[in-house]
Structure 1
Amino acid sequence: MADRKSDSGLPGTLVGRAAELAVLTAHAEAARAGRSGLVILSGPAGIGKTSLLRAFLDSDACRKMTVLHGTCGEVVAGAGYGGVRALFGGLGLSAEGAQDSPLLRGSARRALPALDPRPAEEGPSTAATVYPVLHGLYWLAANLMAQGPLLLVLDDVHWCDERSLRWIDFLLRRADQLPLLVVLAQRTEAEPVAPTALADILAQPRSSVIRLDPLAGTDVAEMARQVFETPVEPSFAERATAVCGGNPLTVTRLLRELRAKGVPPDEDGIREIAEVGSYVVALSVRALFDAQPGWVRDVATAIAVLGEEDPEHIGVLAGVPVARVAEAVDLLRGAEVMAPDRADLAHDVVRSAVLEAAGEEPLAELRARAAQLLSDAGRPAEEVANQVLLVPGTPQPWMCWVLREAAAQAEHRGAPEAAARYLYRVLEAEPDSLSAHVPLAKALAEINPAEAIRLLRRALGLASDVRTKAPIAVQFGLTCLTVQQSPAAVRVLSEVLDELEEELGPDPDPRDRELRTLVQSALLISGSDEKATINTVRERFARIPEPPGDTPAQRQLLAMMTVLSAMEGRSVRRTVGRARRALRSSDSGLDNWSLVFSAFTLSLADETEEALDALDRALRRGQDSSAVWSYVVTLSVRALLLHGVGAIPDALADAQTAVEIIGGERWNANVTTPQTALATILIDRGEPERAEELLASVTRPNLDGFVLEYHWYLMARARARWALGDGATALRLFLDCGASLDESGFANPAFVPWWAEAACVLAAEKRAKEARGLVEHGAELARRWNTPRALGLAALARGVTTPGEEGIALLTEAVEHFSGSPARAEHARAEFLLGGALLDAGRPRDARERLRSAADLAQGCGALALARDARNRLVAAGGRMREITASPVDLLTGTEHKVAQLASRGAGNREIAESLFVTVRTVETHLTSVYRKLSVSQRADLASVLSTTSRPDPQAPAWVFASRGRR
């Protein structure tokens, strides 16, 4: 290895680190072969981490890789995406060059807020920007990896901000089979800026930790030979090792001081080691300052405060001309106080010694001046604020302004942790300020909602009037949702709404009316989430007239009112009218939840085409903004809707994609709808064992308190048990579902029709008389809701529990109702049950006709379990039919089906990966499997093969096939 500079700046070779260098080299070779890896270098200050990294980066192992190398520093510790900018800063990516840079194509453009050090022209966005920026940075790394293996090296990672660490964690969890190596170096004795985020990275299963141990005596002897260029007594090297603890930086400084004093490396020199070695770095710094003019010390101190900075600014802070700055830098570099390859001090240990020599009070004044200097120079607020954070004491008024600006910039970058650090300092100076509490709570809403709620409670107490209090209450209510505190949200929002209505009177002006509507919608959203509060908000909103839907807040309120109206199951026409008014605007004021809730309501009313259109809009928004959580929930709701209308292959594709996406997210324990949707579909596919395994993986706390998710979950568990032959448990779960719905006040017969399922279980177990109450209950609900599907369910439940010809007539009625509804799978089931009843009544010819229809319908829907049952019963009745076997397309997994659909419409692998939130390598793997299963060799063949599964069934509504073609 060629001679080089060590951490101290002394000439020499890397000593004593051959084994560690070999480990890094092996990881680099694995990354070049497509096996991603993570290496953590750890050890105390001066142990040689930086020297090892430099030797590694100069080695042949890294010459065939794209290398991004950055160092975190205390001056920018905790800044939003400071670590990311340290890595990517050398690429010169900015908003101006985004159009031209191939690295920023596609979703990678969303990385710009994290990369550009300047504030964006547009105003700060919300905490929802966090995931899009992470997603964009991932695709930026993916674009780099498309050019070749990528090596990310981040030194002094203990100073790294939380959001940059979260991105590294995000990247590594998506890095399987990618040519990526991440190397992080940290000081073990330093308290990390973001300990939890760093701990999550260290817990990565692919991580490898290299702990740098102190150098042995033989290594110190080798270093001494390089310094003195004369023979070294073994006892001299052993003593130096003991005094310095084998720390390379301290050893190097000790040897330099001894050489400068003319001390030889022999027995006589041993006596000097203890005196010099006990404080060698501080001693060398002070000795240098004592031997040089005062302006050299002032320049060194200014550099220690500002870091790598423009010489003019260093000169202003130090109070010396720029020419003197250059002269001082040369002197400092010659004395190995400055780094040899950058305009900064050689090491953090050296920085600490320089700052310590300045004194506590002068240093505090110098930091305040540094912040003022950067502010006057027009630097971005985050840069100025990072200096302000290091100034002890209460921030001055101008500092608070800078901290607020910095928080806005950090929030725009999607770095709420950094925004919170800035705003906490504002709160120190303004403990009773609303403008400190509310933005801080907003920054903490996703990362520490409990603290956000505490701050918002305090803010509500500080608000002087109800108009000021109302938006705070809205923020409080929506934050409470994340920690399942709906009762607290409902209490606060109800109190504020009472105050607001009293203050505004019956006829407020448009602005006040919109504010009142916003509070109402937040109350309805918060209160509709849990069973503990649903009845309270239902009673309140029974007295509120429905808004026309002319404004964003009105449409949000209408969307939520449609849910309550639909779940009461009383007026389908009124409910559909509300949902359509909520959906009638296409502007950005209509958020995804308004779309999803309206779609859910329309699906209950059999208005399936409109519901699918609304969900498609919501999914496109989720893709455009990389809002993965809402995208996953929307995809899961669409899967349940498609399942309900018998489009089971498409439903499977949606549900499995949603489950695959949440597998890479840390918040997956708080999501249940994807697993429930997939389990529901797997049961109809004839895989109840897999469904049960999936449902067993659901761990969301207090699941039984939620009004929608819990009932979907119970129904899936019950149907899985029944499919596995456990009728007793299935019946208990169905009845539990009914009791829970009653507690929630939900009476829509089309939402989880537990009563019809329970009736079928009782009929199958020859206990039909016990179902009489359930059947009448369901029939009454169906008459009130009065949709074809609801009426079909009621007739089916009555038919299976009524013997003889009367039961056959009721099942025939059920078939007729379902044939006029979008519920194709229910239609197939009704045909199957009718065929069974006819067979039991001694009418095999009529039975065979119905069973054949059931088998055909079920197979066309993808309900393979029902299709096989119908075919088996048909054969037993003397009919003939081929075995029900899966078509080649049925062999595809849900995600393979989704990938194949997109590829058949001309989407490239990258476009597919971006739209499904997966890696390009994952798409390639799925496509390889698709080609094998479908026996095709190229994309062009996919469309013709997939289209064979979408031929119109003569009994299926035309909209089903139109929607399939649309997607």
Structure 2
Amino acid sequence: MDDGPSMLLERDREVAILNAVVDAAARGDGSATVLRGAPGTGKTRLLEVAAERARAAGMPVLAGHGRELERQIALGVAADLFAALLAAADPDERRRLLSGPAAPAAALLTDTPTESAHPDALPLGLCWLAAHLTGWDTPGAPRSALFMVDDAQWADAASQRFLTMLADRVDRLPLALVVALRDGEDSSDATASQRLMTATAGPRGRLLTLAPLTAEAVGRLVTAAFPGPDPALAEAVGHASGGNPFLVTELLRSLRADGVIPAADAVAGLVPETVLHSVLARLGQLPADAARLATAVAVLGDGTPLRRAAALAELDPAAAERAADTLAAARLLLPGSPLRFIHPLVGAAVYADQPAFARSRAHRRAADLLTADGEGAEKAAGHLLAMEPEGDPDVVGVLREAAARTLRRGDPGAAARLLERAVAEPPPPRLRGELLIELARAKLIAGDLAGHTILTDGIELLDEDAVQVRVRALGLLAKARHGSGDPAGAAAAGEEALRLLDPDDPGRQDLLADYLAITMFHAPLRREASTWLRPVLDDARRGRPPTRPRLLAQVVLWLALAGEPASLVRPLADRALAADALADLAEQGASLGLVLHALVIIGEVTAAENAATAAMAAARHSGDILAYGYGSYHRALVHLNQGALTEALADLEAARIPHEAGWTAASGWNAWLLARVLMAYGDRTGAEEALRTADRYPADSMEAGLVRHVRAQLALSDGRPAAALEEARAAGRHLGEIYDIDHPGLLPWRTTAALAAHHLGDHRLAGELAGQALERARAVGVRRDVGVALRVAGLVARPGPDIALLAEAVRTLERIPAAIEHAHALVDLGTMLRQAGRRTAGAQPLRAGLAIAEARHARPLADRARAELRSLGLRPRRVAVRGVDALTPAEHRVALLALHGQSNRQIAQSLFITTKTVETHLARAYRKLAISNRHELNVAFAGSTDP
């Protein structure tokens, strides 16, 4: 009657598969297996089989267990998987495991987790932690591992998301993931459970559904218990147990306890629930202390220490030990400590047998015991959820604390459930409004629109003197309304909050920054928002800028767009990017982007590049993929302005990492930038595709005007000047009339329109537009814009091109990092000199422009320069695509990082890609560079040092 063999009857296929997946992981081939079945079908025993196989092979086994009372502990099961491993690791190994993109996992495994930018940041960090554990990216054989989770249907929702994400990645990791799911139970996250099963549909996945025992197997067990039985007895036992291995065993154990061979007809009337009642009957025959201890374990849950169970049962240590031994002898508890029932069904039966109010009172005492033992509010909260409300302020306090920690760990749904229970307690009247606001915040983060109504109710219940709480609530309401498509309502809430605060209140600046982020880019609200921003801008001009980084970022951008000189804007940008402020800005990626874009607009591209690179480095260190992608986007903008097209495309590729992970979607801004880079490359089809795949954006949004300008440039290059003129002027009107912005550093629409009018033969309009462009560029004083305007003015001048203006454009652009614009000016100057009959003078700028264009991969410009040189009777050689110039952006980026001494593993972490991908890029780069190893990269790159 040993449970082990009975639980493996007719499980030969499952045992063979589990042994095979463990052996495959030992060879480096990962897989994901889900065991699915009713309680008692042997899932736990099969997990033990997998663990035994893994330990025999020397593989570490990381085990977790879902528990019904702990479903609100965000990532609790995931933390259980790694806790022992990290606790045993020395400091150097712990740093390695938690390095790079695994860094977010460190917050989970400490007492002070921090709120992540995205709910999947911690689960993804744990996936990287799993990868680092296996040594997937270090030389030599990988260290395979077994990850197994029992009762995953009770794992918290965030842990279920982690398991799903890990299952999606097992094809690249040498680990076996085995998860047991119980049928017929509510899941913490039904979608995640379904996705987990779906993840097993791939070539590295398996879904094993455990069937009931056949009549033959039941007969074997009956024969083992009662040699030579009536065949009808086996049939009756099979019917009563439903073929469930555990219930068969328990039924036979109860029948044997009677001391006689039972009659088949006495068993035939039993049902599975009756079988569990026999367990309670056995318990009722034991001493009272044993029954009290069993009840305590049922309330506290499997895995509870004997000391704690004894305290709940009100037994002294000696009596508790005797009771535990008695329960083990009766096959109700497993021997030893911590205390566990022989099977969860036994614990469930003992728990259900207690009167409802007695259970409630026991859970209240259990919560107190956990709190006294320092187990944390989240574990205590599981018991508080199971007790009847009684208006206890202490209960409300524990639930609020647990909800706050759960929210920080990325499970707003669980936090909302805890807060709903706190509201039902109920809280003291003075706290009800605050509690509703906290509940609304959790629901809104979880995407539950009911949070709007709750938030409004909470604000109405606040005391008049609770100004700061009201302000925070109104700020939350503003964000909620904005996110639900009600910008006007959002603005109203933001303005109400601003009016509640004194001008010198320290929280007002951040509140104003949030308000401006909602309104300044929304055309109907911008005029009112400008009245709030104007005095802040005026103060900044007088030397009194904001002290809070996020508001300062707004000021920096709007001063730049207003055409203020770099001498004013640059110091403010430096202050916003100071080391102590960078972390604040990094939490608000859009704020950092405002400063970086402002630096580009005022021509401070080197400062913008350095700041973007620093932001990317910080994101790599923290493992924040979203921040890394955002920094990559803005560095791509910098590289485009510098004329570094390969580097710009490499950065744009990195900027897509969050999109490919499903976290964000592309936008008009992404399309605008990518299309511009591809146009310079000569990939007109790619540029058009970039614009077609852009997300929908409001017709009155700022990016709508920017995208129209790109379409104008595409039309001009395609020989459609009429369309180009219409789109360029429309883009200028869009930003000028809606946003009151007229800055060539953001939208040089006049130069595009002037060239279009020139090609149409409307020389008067072309000259007028070019003159306005040059006047505006000189007014803002950015050399790049002045150089471009000089070049266009020289081209469209009448009665013919103005070579002096073109030469001035060359001189202006050669002094700044704007390589492609400089090359354009050189080629235009050379072309006009040739057309003026100054053939010898024209050859030199044409050759210089060709050299720059080819080095920067600006193919259309290079082709035009080459054609002009041929018109002079020269035969410029087409540079072969080889060496460094032949590298793709991704290969170029990886090779440069290798040149700077980074290992393949470090490169993979820096770029958030796999080591295998790094190896592939390097192998291709070596072939194109005609080298065999990284030591030869210095010669191949000939001094290139910018990674």
- State if a TM-score over 0.5 links the two structures: yes
The alignment partner of 1:358 has SS state of coil
The alignment partner of 1:40 has SS state of strand
Residue 73 of structure 1: CA displacement? 0.7
Aligned length: 924
Residue aligning to 2:497: 496
Work out the CA distance in 2 between the residues paired with 1:685 and 1:468: 53
Matched, 1:190 2:196: no
Work out the CA distance in 1 between the residues paired with 2:257 and 2:55: 38
Give the residue type in structure 2 aligned to 1:396: D
Work out the CA distance in 1 between the residues paired with 2:715 and 2:332: 73
Matched, 1:748 2:743: yes
Q: How does 1:663-678 map to 2 (within 5 A)?
A: 663-669=659-665, 673=669, 676-678=672-674
Residue 571 of structure 1: CA displacement? 5.2
Q: How does 1:4-23 map to 2 (within 5 A)?
A: 9=3, 11-12=5-6, 14-23=8-17
- Kindly report the root-mean-square deviation, in angstroms, between the aligned alpha carbons of the 2 structures: 3.5
Candidates 513, 519, 526, aligned match of 2:518: 526
Residue 567 of structure 1: CA displacement? 2.4
Work out the CA distance in 2 between the residues paired with 1:240 and 1:85: 42
Work out the CA distance in 2 between the residues paired with 1:322 and 1:446: 46
Matched, 1:106 2:102: no
Residue aligning to 1:461: 460
Relative to structure 1, the CA distance from residue 248 to residue 781 in structure 2 (aligned partners, 3 Å threshold; closer, same or farther) is farther
Give the residue type in structure 2 aligned to 1:597: L
Work out the CA distance in 1 between the residues paired with 2:723 and 2:168: 39
Relative to structure 1, the CA distance from residue 401 to residue 11 in structure 2 (aligned partners, 3 Å threshold; closer, same or farther) is same
Give the residue type in structure 2 aligned to 1:140: L
Work out the CA distance in 2 between the residues paired with 1:669 and 1:285: 56
Residue aligning to 2:281: 287
Give the residue type in structure 2 aligned to 1:70: G
Residue aligning to 2:47: 53
Q: What is the percent sequence identity of the aligned residues?
A: 30
Relative to structure 1, the CA distance from residue 343 to residue 577 in structure 2 (aligned partners, 3 Å threshold; closer, same or farther) is closer
Residue aligning to 2:209: 211
Residue range with higher mean Cα deviation, 403-412 or 670-679: 670-679
Give the residue type in structure 2 aligned to 1:618: A
What are structure 2's unaligned runs of at least 5 residues? 136-141
Contact 1:778/1:794 (CA < 8 Å) preserved in 2?
yes
Residue range with higher mean Cα deviation, 541-550 or 343-352: 541-550
Residue 517 of structure 1: CA displacement? 2.6
Contact 2:722/2:760 (CA < 8 Å) preserved in 1?
no
Candidates 170, 179, 189, aligned match of 2:174: 179
Deviation per CA, 1:355-377, whole angstroms, max 9, x where unpaired?
Answer: 11112111111111111222233
Work out the CA distance in 1 between the residues paired with 2:668 and 2:326: 64
Work out the CA distance in 2 between the residues paired with 1:238 and 1:716: 78
Residue range with higher mean Cα deviation, 407-416 or 216-225: 407-416
Candidates 913, 938, 941, aligned match of 2:936: 941
Contact 1:129/1:412 (CA < 8 Å) preserved in 2?
no
Relative to structure 1, the CA distance from residue 281 to residue 310 in structure 2 (aligned partners, 3 Å threshold; closer, same or farther) is same
Matched, 1:546 2:542: no
Work out the CA distance in 2 between the residues paired with 1:631 and 1:599: 14
Contact 1:395/1:425 (CA < 8 Å) preserved in 2?
no
Candidates 97, 101, 115, aligned match of 1:126: 115
Residue aligning to 1:954: none
Residue aligning to 2:139: none
Contact 2:250/2:279 (CA < 8 Å) preserved in 1?
no
Residue aligning to 1:270: 264
Matched, 1:249 2:246: yes
Residue range with higher mean Cα deviation, 904-913 or 667-676: 667-676
Give the residue type in structure 2 aligned to 1:688: R
Matched, 1:872 2:867: yes
Contact 2:22/2:54 (CA < 8 Å) preserved in 1?
no
Work out the CA distance in 2 between the residues paired with 1:256 and 1:727: 91
Work out the CA distance in 2 between the residues paired with 1:133 and 1:550: 40
Residue 311 of structure 1: CA displacement? 1.0
Residue range with higher mean Cα deviation, 738-747 or 802-811: 802-811
Relative to structure 1, the CA distance from residue 646 to residue 337 in structure 2 (aligned partners, 3 Å threshold; closer, same or farther) is same
Give the residue type in structure 2 aligned to 1:668: T
Contact 1:149/1:179 (CA < 8 Å) preserved in 2?
yes
Contact 1:804/1:841 (CA < 8 Å) preserved in 2?
no
Residue aligning to 1:299: 293
Relative to structure 1, the CA distance from residue 726 to residue 41 in structure 2 (aligned partners, 3 Å threshold; closer, same or farther) is farther
Matched, 1:141 2:130: yes
Deviation per CA, 1:687-745, whole angstroms, max 9, x where unpaired?
Answer: 3334444544444x5365643x5455555566566667777776665455434323233
Relative to structure 1, the CA distance from residue 704 to residue 67 in structure 2 (aligned partners, 3 Å threshold; closer, same or farther) is farther
Work out the CA distance in 1 between the residues paired with 2:209 and 2:817: 63
The alignment partner of 1:189 has SS state of coil
Work out the CA distance in 1 between the residues paired with 2:609 and 2:95: 36
Deviation per CA, 1:232-264, whole angstroms, max 9, x where unpaired?
Answer: 73x544444444333323333233333434565
The alignment partner of 2:41 has SS state of coil
Work out the CA distance in 1 between the residues paired with 2:825 and 2:813: 8
Residue 895 of structure 1: CA displacement? 2.8
Candidates 547, 551, 561, aligned match of 2:555: 561
Work out the CA distance in 1 between the residues paired with 2:888 and 2:776: 37
Relative to structure 1, the CA distance from residue 129 to residue 829 in structure 2 (aligned partners, 3 Å threshold; closer, same or farther) is same
Q: How does 1:90-105 map to 2 (within 5 A)?
A: 90-91=84-85, 93=87, 98=91, 101=94, 104=97
Work out the CA distance in 1 between the residues paired with 2:634 and 2:80: 41
Deviation per CA, 1:419-466, whole angstroms, max 9, x where unpaired?
Answer: 444333323323763442444455556443755555544444344244
The alignment partner of 1:39 has SS state of strand
Residue range with higher mean Cα deviation, 268-277 or 725-734: 725-734
Relative to structure 1, the CA distance from residue 816 to residue 471 in structure 2 (aligned partners, 3 Å threshold; closer, same or farther) is same
Residue aligning to 1:376: 372
Work out the CA distance in 2 between the residues paired with 1:200 and 1:484: 30
Residue aligning to 1:359: 355
Contact 1:688/1:720 (CA < 8 Å) preserved in 2?
yes
Give the residue type in structure 1 aligned to 2:70: V
Contact 2:642/2:818 (CA < 8 Å) preserved in 1?
yes
Deviation per CA, 1:541-573, whole angstroms, max 9, x where unpaired?
Answer: 224432588897444323202212222336555
Residue range with higher mean Cα deviation, 516-525 or 811-820: 811-820
Contact 1:552/1:590 (CA < 8 Å) preserved in 2?
no
Contact 1:225/1:232 (CA < 8 Å) preserved in 2?
no
Residue 905 of structure 1: CA displacement? 1.4
Work out the CA distance in 2 between the residues paired with 1:383 and 1:624: 31
Candidates 38, 50, 59, aligned match of 1:65: 59
Work out the CA distance in 2 between the residues paired with 1:763 and 1:703: 32
Relative to structure 1, the CA distance from residue 618 to residue 711 in structure 2 (aligned partners, 3 Å threshold; closer, same or farther) is farther
Contact 1:682/1:688 (CA < 8 Å) preserved in 2?
yes
Matched, 1:601 2:598: yes
Q: How does 1:303-382 map to 2 (within 5 A)?
A: 303-307=297-301, 308-339=303-334, 343-382=339-378
Residue aligning to 1:960: none
Relative to structure 1, the CA distance from residue 115 to residue 585 in structure 2 (aligned partners, 3 Å threshold; closer, same or farther) is closer
Give the residue type in structure 2 aligned to 1:391: M
Residue aligning to 1:956: none
Relative to structure 1, the CA distance from residue 366 to residue 554 in structure 2 (aligned partners, 3 Å threshold; closer, same or farther) is closer
Residue range with higher mean Cα deviation, 246-255 or 773-782: 773-782
Residue range with higher mean Cα deviation, 378-387 or 678-687: 678-687
Residue range with higher mean Cα deviation, 609-618 or 304-313: 609-618
Contact 1:563/1:601 (CA < 8 Å) preserved in 2?
yes
Residue aligning to 1:793: 788
Residue aligning to 1:647: 644
The alignment partner of 2:172 has SS state of coil
Give the residue type in structure 1 aligned to 2:369: L
What are structure 1's unaligned runs of at least 5 residues? 951-963
Residue 398 of structure 1: CA displacement? 0.8
Contact 1:73/1:159 (CA < 8 Å) preserved in 2?
yes
Relative to structure 1, the CA distance from residue 311 to residue 718 in structure 2 (aligned partners, 3 Å threshold; closer, same or farther) is farther
Residue 14 of structure 1: CA displacement? 1.1
Relative to structure 1, the CA distance from residue 324 to residue 513 in structure 2 (aligned partners, 3 Å threshold; closer, same or farther) is closer
Contact 2:115/2:409 (CA < 8 Å) preserved in 1?
no
Work out the CA distance in 2 between the residues paired with 1:62 and 1:664: 39
Residue 787 of structure 1: CA displacement? 1.9
Matched, 1:86 2:67: no
Q: How does 1:410-559 map to 2 (within 5 A)?
A: 410-428=406-424, 429-430=426-427, 433-441=432-440, 443=442, 446-448=445-447, 450=449, 454-463=453-462, 464-465=464-465, 466-478=467-479, 485-500=486-501, 504=502, 512-544=504-536, 545-547=538-540, 553-559=547-553
The alignment partner of 1:379 has SS state of coil
